[in-house]
Copies of this chain bind each other. A is one copy, B any other.
Amino acid sequence: MPLSERAVTVQASPIRRLAPFMLQARERGVKIHHLNIGQPDIETPKAYMDAIRGFAEKVLAYGPSDGLPELKKAISGYFGRYDIAITPADVQITLGGSEAIQCAFCIVGDPGDEVIIPEPFYTNYNGFAAMVGLKVVPVTTRAENGFAMPPIEAFEKAITPRTRAILVCSPNNPTGVIFTPEELDELALLAKKHDLFLIGDEVYREFVYEGSRPKSLLELKGVEDRVIVVDSISKRFSACGARVGALISRNQELMACALKFAQARLCPPTIEQLGAIAAYKMSPDYFEPVREEYRRRRDTLYEGLCHHPGVLLKKPMGAFYMIARLPIDDANDFAQWMLTDFQLDGETVMVAPADGFYATPGLGKNEVRLAYVLEVPKLHRCVDILLKGIKAFNKA
């Protein structure tokens, strides 16, 4: 009674391996600063909470499989404010951005087909690909270039007869990079040339600290029917526990297929969608102070680390992550050691070793992903702990 190959081989969360060491440190009374996970500490909007608490129906019934019409409308209205014209028919509400990715994978390919993704990438793409039998083919971006998109030839070289789609996450988790309009235009041409879909994970689109608003794949010309965008309220409205996201495409044949898969799982959570409607109806002004707060946090962590000898870190432009190359041999050993052997006045820092974000074995060995989801004074403290930790680790 063997378990399936995909179940056995699918990558476990690369962060999870460290959890027992984290718990032991906590038991020893060590205070742990979490730079390892992207759980924002920003308060969920009051409008969201009020909508949830105000739920007055007697029966918590199934909603429509594609989501509440008012939420689909609110999301198309949100994009409309950025002059991105989509209609409610182009939107399907999903169980977080997670389900949107999984559904997109299901629709673009059959088992054995391939999807190209710039690495390092959000590790959970691996899980969704394994579930639906797709193969992830990485195209490497490098710390030396600030994880900028590789030349388009690198993508073209990765294309095989089984390639069905290219997925880009911008602003990027885990690198914080934002792909330029020109880079995305080149991807659009490539997608047309090789008859591919383009999947955009754009859940961090509001979290941008440099330059103008990032270009959405929905703004690319000539590939309107090839583009699938993954969206989510988790980070945008600090509502990670809601599990409300969206799959967006103007390809109505594709949306009809998405609906068939959506019908199988019945509907997204009803009450949480009411919260999401309220959040999407807020003024865009809501994002300003949030963005400012994250910008300060980014600057704190970046400035604190980038001048340190041996640290390779270009200024990230968006999302709330960065990948730093550290003057250490092995980031897994270092991350574990910071929990098991190090403390500064009873405090330590938990980081995510970056190798788990690469599909190519051997890459990211001396890199860590840092999430700046803590307040500025705490981040100053984290920098201090990290730098002293690196020094001590190299002497140990």
For chain A, the bracket of interface size reads 35 or more
**Given A60-B239, A131-B264, 15 further pairs, Cβ under 8 A:** A4-B109, A7-B258, A7-B260, A7-B261, A42-B59, A44-B59, A53-B55, A60-B238, A60-B242, A95-B265, A96-B266, A124-B264, A127-B263, A127-B265, A130-B261
Contact digits for A322-336, partner B, Cβ 8 Å, 1 yes 0 no: 000000000000000
A183 CB–B CB distance under 8 Å: no
Contact digits for A76-100, partner B, Cβ 8 Å, 1 yes 0 no: 0000000000000000000110110
- Of A9-17, A146-154, A359-367, the segment with at least 4 beta carbons within 8 Å of chain B is A9-17
Return the contact of A243 from the options B240, B254, B258, B268 (Cβ within 8 A).
Answer: B268
> Bound complex: CA of A130 vs CA of B131, how far in Å?
11
A396 CB–B CB distance under 8 Å: no
Return the contact of A96 from the options B131, B225, B261, B265 (Cβ within 8 A).
Answer: B265
Known: A257-B3, A264-B98. A106 touches B131 (CB 8 A): yes
Q: Name the B residues within 8 Å of A40 (CB-CB).
A: 59
21 contacts between A and B (CB under 8 A): A3-B108, A3-B257, A6-B110, A7-B254, A8-B257, A10-B260, A41-B59, A52-B53, A61-B241, A95-B99, A102-B131, A106-B130, A126-B264, A127-B261, A128-B264, A131-B131, A131-B132, A131-B261, A132-B132, A241-B269, A271-B272
A20 CB, nearest partner CB in chain B, Å: 14
Chain A, range 6-50, C-beta contacts under 8 Å to B:
6-8, 10-13, 16, 37, 39-44, 48-49
Q: Name the B residues within 8 Å of A112 (CB-CB).
A: 111
Is B106 in contact with A265, judged by CB distance below 8 angstroms? Answer: no
A295 CB–B CB distance under 8 Å: no
> Bound complex: CA of A368 vs CA of B270, how far in Å?
29
Is A196 in contact with B95, judged by CB distance below 8 angstroms? Answer: no
Contact digits for A104-144, partner B, Cβ 8 Å, 1 yes 0 no: 00111111110000000000101110111100000000000
Known: A4-B110, A110-B133, A269-B241. A11 touches B260 (CB 8 A): yes
Is A265 in contact with B102, judged by CB distance below 8 angstroms? Answer: yes
Residue of B nearest to A40 (CB): B59
Q: Name the B residues within 8 Å of A55 (CB-CB).
A: 49, 52-53
Residue of B nearest to A192 (CB): B1
Is B164 in contact with A4, judged by CB distance below 8 angstroms? Answer: yes
Is B260 in contact with A243, judged by CB distance below 8 angstroms? Answer: no
A369 CB–B CB distance under 8 Å: no
Is B39 in contact with A62, judged by CB distance below 8 angstroms? Answer: yes
A5 CB–B CB distance under 8 Å: yes
> Bound complex: CA of A240 vs CA of B61, how far in Å?
5
> Bound complex: CA of A95 vs CA of B42, how far in Å?
25
> Bound complex: CA of A53 vs CA of B264, how far in Å?
29
A237 CB, nearest partner CB in chain B, Å: 9
